[in-house]
Amino acid sequence: MRQVRSQPAEVLLVEDNENDVELTLRAFQKERLQVNLQHVWNGEECMSYLRREGDYADKPPPDLILLDLNLPVMDGREVLAEIVNDEKLRRLPVVILTTSAAEADLLRMYELRCSAYIVKPVDFDRFREVIRSLGDFWFSVAMLPPKP
């Protein structure tokens, strides 16, 4: 049973594939998870969002980041490396949500201290189950750090 949050969780989705953005949004809606889902298209935008620069100055800080690895401009590997090296950002939970099942990617992301690594299922029903499990854990079970 899900705990009821007093406020929706702020989730930042970093994803360059338009179909995956739509599927993720639909999965969150179908699972009725209380989240405000923000989205950026690449790693450079992600870092600007997290540092609240430019167009992102008034955006709320995320409770959780869903990060794809294969992004244009600055990929997810570079983003996570930059997050963990930034004193103000390093405690943000980062869940890798990617199509890559490569062991090298998995090992590297855990070396960089990702919070979890999830390979995106192709089937939408299975993807919904993943989003439901993610929501149950991160928004009902896990204690999230205070926002920076």
- Residue 4, domain member (yes or no): no
- Residue 147, domain member (yes or no): no
CATH number, domain containing residue 20: 3.40.50.2300
- Residue 144, domain member (yes or no): no
- Stretch 119-148: mean pLDDT, rounded? 92
Count: domains in the chain: 1
- Residue 148, domain member (yes or no): no
Residue 143 tokens read as 């204690």
pLDDT in tens, 30-89: 999 999 999 999 999 999 999 999 999 999 999 999 999 999 999 999 999 999 999 999
The pTM is what?
0.94
3-state secondary structure at position 96: strand
At 23 the pLDDT is: 95
At 5 the pLDDT is: 56
- Stretch 82-106: mean pLDDT, rounded? 96
Residue 95 bridge partners (DSSP): 66, 116
Domain coverage including residue 125: 9-139
- Residue 2, domain member (yes or no): no
- Residue 1, domain member (yes or no): no
- Residue 146, domain member (yes or no): no
3-state secondary structure at position 101: coil
- Stretch 23-36: mean pLDDT, rounded? 94
Cβ–Cβ < 8 Å for 37, 25: yes
